[in-house]
Amino acid sequence: METELIAPAATTILTGAPSTQDAYLSVAGIAKSYGSQTVIEALDFHVRRGELVSLLGPSGCGKTTLLRLIAGLVAADSGSITLGGRELAHVPAHQRNVSVVFQNYALFPHLDVQDNVAFGLRARGRPATSIPAAVAEALALVRMSDYALRPVGLLSGGQQQRVAVARALVVNPDLLLLDEPFSALDRKLRETMQIELKALLRSRGMTAIFVTHDQDEALAVSDRIAVMNAGCIEHFADPATLYARPATAFALEFVGLSTRLAGVVRHCQASVASIETACGTVSANADFRPGSAVVVGVRPERIRVVPSGQPVPPGWNAVRAPLTDVVPLGARTHLYGRAGKGNAAGASVGEGQGDGEGDRLLCERANTEGGMLGEAGSAVREGEVLGWQWPVADTLVYPAWTA
């Protein structure tokens, strides 16, 4: 089935991307392949001064390669990288003034904490008399002053990370790159370190790029998030926009949870598409050619679940589907519904799409007073057919995956 996208409403609204004028780091048309395998293909990426940005994507999406290209640890096949107006393409890594906090930190095992931190200063030939004070200041910044003489092998994961950050910051880099900096830490420590590091980078006005596969981490530390997939940036926006209006079906799937319904556009009038799905017809603000196969997405907190047959407010979509799972999550509860087979569109487009999962309805409810299903007025049982309602304005539509 031919899928033709005319202009999806979702992508035209947003893009907080800076113009190339106010970019501090500018990656333009960069490409990298290993043999026949293209890792990054003609990628553009612009970061403002003082911005904290995350490259978010699954493993193998090219995010680490992009980081290594910016750091100068691998050479690009083509394209340019400018930092503060300086062209970096042919500048070797050690002359770029771009620091990296490596995954697992790559501390020098033969040096103690203070010599690790002093390494960059010595490498830059700073006068020996100025080094102890700078090292002491950097260690104070990460609250590691008491560990200056420790061998790094005796430090815990969190302490090693602090040393790695101090070592990277003490040379006052123009740009800080962090490759999965929190992945080696346990969950509690990770959250503490994220808040701490963000505050530290902010206070220094540092421009930093985090590479991560963890969406919570990206949301916690960044001003803007670039969702990467297969060597391309799918969507680059602030966390709120990224969540509310993901530019692509991949970004929708990768960041946060959502309802996902396969459908076919029946007709499209005045930028409102009418889409037939396995559990009913829904409307969305989008321009698609009739007959296009699409995926409908809705964020879970936008959906409300009501007893079947309850009237639909104007400007709302409503479908009927059985409740399959109720997952209590403490402050919230997730209600899952499955679009029934045998409905008109279900058989033709509902199967074999995306990552193999079928259609799915997901509603997130805050567990406030009044119970889990306060709006519905009564407790629901799994298997019960319910009405699932959400505003047309919150209906996201993407061309069906052609993976």
Partner 1 sequence: MRTPRTVDGFVLLAAPALVYLAALYALPLVLLLLKSFNAKGSFPSIAGYTEFFADPFHLKILWRTVRVALLTTLLALLLAYPTAFVLARARGFVQSLILLALVLPLAVGVIVKTFAWSILFRSDGLLNKTLLAIGLIDEPVRLLYTETALVISAANVFLPFMVLPIYAVVRQLDARLPEAAATLGAGPVFCFFRVIAPLTLPGVIAGSAFVFSMAVSMYVIPSLIVGERSQTLSMLIARSYLFLRDEQLGSSISSILLLIAVSVVLGSSWLLRRLSGGKT
**Residue whose C-alpha is closest to residue 13's, from 216, 277, 215, 240:** 240
Which lies closer to partner 1 via its Cβ, residue 107 or residue 278? Answer: 107
Positions touching partner 1 (CB under 8 A) are: 71-73, 92-100, 102, 104, 106-110, 112, 119-120, 122-124, 151, 153-154, 167-168, 171, 177
CB of 96 to partner 1, least distance (A): 8
The nearer residue to partner 1, 208 or 396, going by C-beta atoms, is 208
Closest approach of Cβ 22 to partner 1, in Å?
26
Whether 110 and 60 have beta carbons less than 8 Å apart is answered as no
119 versus 316: smaller Cβ distance to partner 1: 119
The one-letter code for the residue type at 27 is V
Strand partners, 337: 323, 361
Which long-range contacts link 270-273 to residues 24+ away (Cβ below 8 Å)?
271/9, 272/392, 273/397
User: Taking the complex as a whole, how short is the minimal distance between the CB of residue 171 and partner 1, in angstroms?
Assistant: 6
CB of 206 to partner 1, least distance (A): 15
Least distance in angstroms from the C-beta of 151 to partner 1: 4
- CB-nearer residue toward partner 1: 117 or 286: 117
Q: In Å, how far are 25, 179, 309 from 381, measured between CA atoms?
A: 54, 45, 16
| Nearer to partner 1 (CB atom), residue 47 or residue 294 | 47
Residue nearer to partner 1 on the CB measure, 68 or 299: 68
Can you read off the two tokens belonging to residue 219? Answer: 């949301």
C-beta separation of 24 from 47 below 8 A: yes
With 0-12 / 13-18 / 19 or more C-beta atoms within 10 angstroms meaning exposed / middle / buried, residue 26 is buried
| Shortest distance in whole angstroms from residue 326 CB to partner 1 | 46
